[in-house]
Structure 1
């Protein structure tokens, strides 16, 4: 999400001639960045549960705000970790959208997605291990009561939201995310300066969590949901693939974000990108030259 192309748009792969590791280095960075995201994201939910701040999801306003901020900061830190080598997609929906609209190489899409999912899986295992005692005390049967520490549920396990309602929510939420990411990283637009894009992208995730978190837990990232869901399943959460109604649910936070990401990227292209000037904005303090 950081490399400038010849047209001034962000290409998204972040690699350059200084990348000594090639594709392996990019995949390693995606793994590390996504792992950092999950360490903060799943970690904050586990801490809220273990600390007794929630008696049932989604809990009080303070707990919700804490979760939203930590997920956003996790994104910021993950992007800073991986940005130079890979562009810090840390989200398969971002990778797919960049391939479709920003010339990211298609042959890298699947490897990036695998690296992201593995990073999320390992991050979730570390959270699960660290909070073993606390989660066991709060929920000895490893049920939906604490499953949402790792993966999302329709209505956060409380509100009456169907899987189709959650799918709609994930498409809309990820479309918002991708439209804004494209805007923030487009150097022909008003992109942030001084390497502030990761911080702004983190704020985008905070805002989505605060405004679009009720219906489906704002996964907006297939790796963020599937990796921890798999980690929870192999460590005792045997209902991890289902929702609280007994329906297979794991596909919703995979399909919804992938579709939504493409929708958001297409909206940016149609509504904004095609109208931007071919040259970037003038430097701060520079007086534009008069037209001849």
Structure 2
């Protein structure tokens, strides 16, 4: 597998993952969308199908990691060379940036209508002057389209939720989803992992929105920060480390457990 294959497969596959995953959230959240208020079930299945589509595109090219946590887990498990890890992760982050930007392109009119709606403007969180800054809502009205955020802001719980959810994802990949070479998803593995992602969303997504992927959260958060959207609210950088560190810790734990108990 060449460096070019890794770059193209991971960048394009992750971009497609974020386009479809962010797209389903945009459709549910934005008021002038035909799928407005379709609910958490639509979001969970939408993200699962987004993973499936991105994985099928990239599986024969780069192994379809599409997630720095997955790359780390595969490296610890000994199936991905450590020298390839930086290229995988950089390509995934770039793809996440591209995919999130394309969500804005696809829903440009809906973003404008939503963010200039008087009801939305009036409902924006106001944290200035609040006594308890730890529990103050900081996410803007559309940040959830791009990145995750907790329903209850508790650092320990939020971090543990992401660790546990990512552990489930990576242990499923290591035990059920790898191709014959063990360096990425196979065709059947991509389907299994997509269904696991749906299951994680339905079972463990409630507390934090289940990032389970550092690139999936950080890249779109950067796009949210940079896009010139009126009344968009803050990008919640005080929380941003949790959906990066949590998945990486969960992936490392899953790979370590796999090496000791299941390999």
What is the TM-score with the length of structure 1 in the denominator? 0.75
Question: Residue 52 and residue 154 in structure 1: after superposition, are their counterparts in 2 closer, same or farther (change >3 A)?
Answer: farther
- For residue 117 of structure 1, what is the aligned residue in structure 2? 93
Please give the alpha-carbon distance, in whole angstroms, between the structure 2 residues aligned to 1:166 and 1:77. 28
- Aligned 1:97-176 pairs, distance under 5 A: 97-140=73-116, 144-155=140-151, 160-176=152-168
Q: Secondary structure at the match of 1:196?
A: helix
Is 2:23 aligned against 1:43?
yes
Please give the alpha-carbon distance, in whole angstroms, between the structure 1 residues aligned to 2:169 and 2:52. 14
- For residue 234 of structure 2, what is the aligned residue in structure 1? 239
Please give the alpha-carbon distance, in whole angstroms, between the structure 2 residues aligned to 1:265 and 1:253. 18
- For residue 215 of structure 1, what is the aligned residue in structure 2? 207
- For residue 259 of structure 1, what is the aligned residue in structure 2? 249
Higher Cα radius of gyration:
1
In the alignment, is the contact (CA less than 8 A) between 2:140 and 2:233 conserved in 1? no
Q: Would you say how many aligned residue pairs link Structure 1 and Structure 2?
A: 233
Please give the per-residue CA displacement for 1:233-272, whole angstroms capped at 9, x wherever unaligned.
Answer: 1004461133xxxxx1111110000000011122223332
TM-fit CA distance, 1:227: 0.7
Question: Residue 119 and residue 186 in structure 1: after superposition, are their counterparts in 2 closer, same or farther (change >3 A)?
Answer: closer
In the alignment, is the contact (CA less than 8 A) between 2:143 and 2:233 conserved in 1? no
Question: Residue 41 and residue 186 in structure 1: after superposition, are their counterparts in 2 closer, same or farther (change >3 A)?
Answer: closer
- For residue 198 of structure 2, what is the aligned residue in structure 1? 206
In the alignment, is the contact (CA less than 8 A) between 1:46 and 1:149 conserved in 2? yes
Structure 1 runs, 4 residues or longer, greater than 4 Å off? none
TM-fit CA distance, 1:187: 7.2
Please give the per-residue CA displacement for 1:45-103, whole angstroms capped at 9, x wherever unaligned.
Answer: 0011123766xxxx6xx511110001011111111111112111000001111111123
TM-fit CA distance, 1:210: 0.2
In the alignment, is the contact (CA less than 8 A) between 1:80 and 1:198 conserved in 2? yes
- For residue 277 of structure 1, what is the aligned residue in structure 2? none
Q: Point out where structure 1 has 5 or more consecutive residues left out of the alignment.
A: 1-14, 16-21, 189-193, 243-247, 274-292
Please give the alpha-carbon distance, in whole angstroms, between the structure 2 residues aligned to 1:187 and 1:115. 21
Please give the per-residue CA displacement for 1:109-156, whole angstroms capped at 9, x wherever unaligned.
Answer: 11110100110100100101221221222233686222100000012x
Is 2:59 aligned against 1:67?
no
Please give the alpha-carbon distance, in whole angstroms, between the structure 1 residues aligned to 2:109 and 2:254. 41
TM-fit CA distance, 1:176: 0.7
Larger helix fraction of residues: 2
What is the TM-score with the length of structure 2 in the denominator? 0.83
Question: Residue 133 and residue 102 in structure 1: after superposition, are their counterparts in 2 closer, same or farther (change >3 A)?
Answer: same
Return the structure number with greater relative CO, CA threshold 8 A, min gap 6: 2
Aligned-pair Cα RMSD in Å = 2.0
Please give the alpha-carbon distance, in whole angstroms, between the structure 2 residues aligned to 1:187 and 1:181. 10
Please give the alpha-carbon distance, in whole angstroms, between the structure 2 residues aligned to 1:165 and 1:195. 35
Please give the alpha-carbon distance, in whole angstroms, between the structure 2 residues aligned to 1:42 and 1:198. 19
